[in-house]
A and B are shown apart, each in its own frame.
Chain A
Amino acid sequence: MTEVDITSKTMDGIGPHGVKVGLLRVLGPAHVWALGVGIVLVGEYMGWNFAVGKGGAYAALIACWFAGILYSCVAMIDSEVTSTVASAGGQYTQAKHIVGPLMAFNVGLYLVFAYTMLEAANAITAGYLVSVVATMTGHQGDLNQRPFIILVIMFLAWLNYRGVLATLTFNLVITAFAFTAILILFLSTSGIIGAGIMDHAALFEGHELPYGWIGILASLHFGLWFYLGIEGTTQAAEEVRSPARALPFGTLAGIMTLLIAATLTWYVCSGVLPWEFLGDGVNGSVAPLFDTARLSGSTGLVWLLGFGTLFATLASANGCINDASRAWFAMGRDKYLPGWFGAVHPKYRTPYRAIVFLVPIALIFALGAPLDQVITFSILSGLLGYTFMPLNIIMFRKKWPLNSIKRGYEHPFHPLPAIMLLTLCGVTFFAVFLGYGTQLVAMIGFYIVVSLWFHFWRYRFVNRGAQFTMPWPKPQGY
């Protein structure tokens, strides 16, 4: 045991147990932060403003903070469980150890679908951004966006294939750039540096809550955009040098960053853009931060926020490839899916088959499905995952109380965050049902069908004896 060096490629503690290749433990808290914030930050650059269209600017702010509470609970719960169940697969592995195989199978699929569809949505957006740049630089006619959509997916998959350290270091740089761009826009437009251009009072007058309280309820669904994906930090669990330190640190720093970024984004955009324009994300403001920069009249800000938008999109797609492939890999390793997917590249130490397998699936969604449907299915899969989390933490604390196993982080006020998260998920489901009832029913129907398939067919292949790997005592009551 003394010969173990977790940063070494040959003596990282994997060999002595007869395992020849495993994922490489090279990441630190900053990479965890970059993975979580990187996936999410694109939601600040575009998408959240549909909440303004549903209920006005104040409704969007309420949705922003409502979702902020929801995701703070997610971050705290995830930090505790993942710093204890530190393995690839994230919530899938948590469900496997704490709830049971059928829940784990479903959660694994939620993760893969949510991330792969979000990756596709990001690639579509990147293609659109390139076409906007082409038009701005004098290109005549419509640019073919397909080669750029495919290039985004291919390049980022290739980067992920080649190694996790380079992948998440790349994410760290472009995510930090995108976050800094929001800070600079706030400083430049609010009057702290130079003359301010904000006029909240005039823009809000007579439009405080244009659709009343029902507008607030309808806008809650889009409040998720500000934070959707922060739970992705858990997928790095098997590749961080110190899971007990890096995962809680990176995840909680990530949610704090996003709370700041979300509030600043709302403040800047709602103070410059009229709510009717801001709230129409299709024919009005597609990229609100970029539009705010354009109204500022500063060429520097336009370029800064233009690159910020593109980088946020790329960081999100990059993190999604990382997370979807880890979930798929972990399910393959346990034979929940064919064991062939549980392979690790002996040189790059990445789940290379899972990465390559998911590329054509992302391409099909990116090239063949409408953006709003792709985004909706991604959100619904994420929401089903959030509903699992409070049940998971309640069972975790009950089966393994605080003094029974070592935890990297213990979240405060249990079970209050779990109850709050469950309640907020219920409210959000209702809000989603109001706008996307058909998709919600179709999605739940899909998961019921695959659950039946898993129960009656696939479960016989699961590696049951080897799937519970944590050196924990027996759960209380068993």
Chain B
Amino acid sequence: MDLWNWIEYGAWALSAAFGLHMVLDWLRTDSAYPEDVLTSSREGELEAMAEEHKVKS
């Protein structure tokens, strides 16, 4: 086995670590917060407050 074989194993291990971290955090988040909070994002909320559109008559 040369260095590149070890790097291959390292890539597998890192991939598993990143994937596992995402899935575990996802499950933890879903169980910690109610669904209506997680899906409470609405489009255009800031625009409705910050922008003023004036119609020229």
Contact = CB atoms under 8 A, between A and B. Distances in A.
A330 B44 CA distance: 12
Interface residues of B, number: 39
Contacts of A404: 55-56
A312 interface: no
Interface in A1-27: 1, 4, 6, 12-14, 16-23, 25
A143 B43 contact: no
Contacts of A470: 44, 47
Contact of B15 (A139, A151, A352, A472): A151
B15 A333 contact: no
B29 A345 contact: yes
A1 B14 CA distance: 46
Contact of B40 (A21, A150, A157, A466): A21
A161 B18 CA distance: 10
A352 B39 contact: no
Given A151-B15, A154-B15, A143 B8 contact: yes
Interface stretch (A171-179, A270-278, A335-343, A446-454): A335-343
A58 interface: no
Nearest to A401: B56
**Interface magnitude class on chain A:** 35 or more
Interface string B25-57: 110010001010111111111111111111110
Contacts of B12: 147, 150-151
A477 interface: no
Contacts of B33: 346
B47 A471 contact: yes
What's the dominant secondary structure at chain A's contact region? loop
Contacts of B42: 17, 19, 22, 333, 466, 469
A224 interface: no
A473 B19 CA distance: 46
A359 to B, nearest CB: 8
Given A21-B38, A147-B12, A346-B33, A139 B2 contact: yes
Contacts of B46: 4, 6, 12-14, 25
A436 interface: no
A403 B47 contact: no
Contacts of A17: 42, 45, 48-49
Contact of A161 (B3, B22, B52): B22
A257 interface: no
Contacts of A352: 22, 25-26, 29
Given A18-B40, A21-B41, A356-B26, A151 B11 contact: yes
Given A155-B14, A158-B22, A346-B38, A93 B43 contact: yes
24 contacts: A4-B49, A4-B50, A14-B41, A16-B49, A17-B49, A21-B38, A22-B42, A87-B43, A139-B3, A144-B8, A150-B12, A155-B15, A158-B18, A158-B19, A161-B22, A333-B41, A344-B40, A346-B29, A352-B22, A355-B22, A405-B53, A469-B43, A469-B45, A470-B47
Interface of B: 2-4, 8-9, 11-12, 14-15, 18-19, 21-23, 25-26, 29, 33, 35, 37-56
Interface of A: 1, 4, 6, 12-14, 16-23, 25, 86-89, 93, 134, 137-140, 143-144, 147-148, 150-151, 154-155, 157-158, 161, 238, 330, 333-334, 339-340, 342-347, 352-353, 355-356, 359, 403-406, 466-467, 469-473
Q: Which 10 A-B pairs have the closest CB atoms?
A: A469-B44, A147-B11, A158-B18, A343-B38, A154-B18, A22-B41, A154-B15, A151-B11, A139-B4, A13-B46
Given A19-B42, A334-B43, 18 more contacts: A13-B49, A16-B49, A17-B45, A22-B42, A143-B8, A147-B8, A148-B11, A150-B11, A154-B19, A157-B18, A158-B18, A158-B19, A343-B35, A343-B41, A352-B22, A352-B25, A356-B22, A467-B43
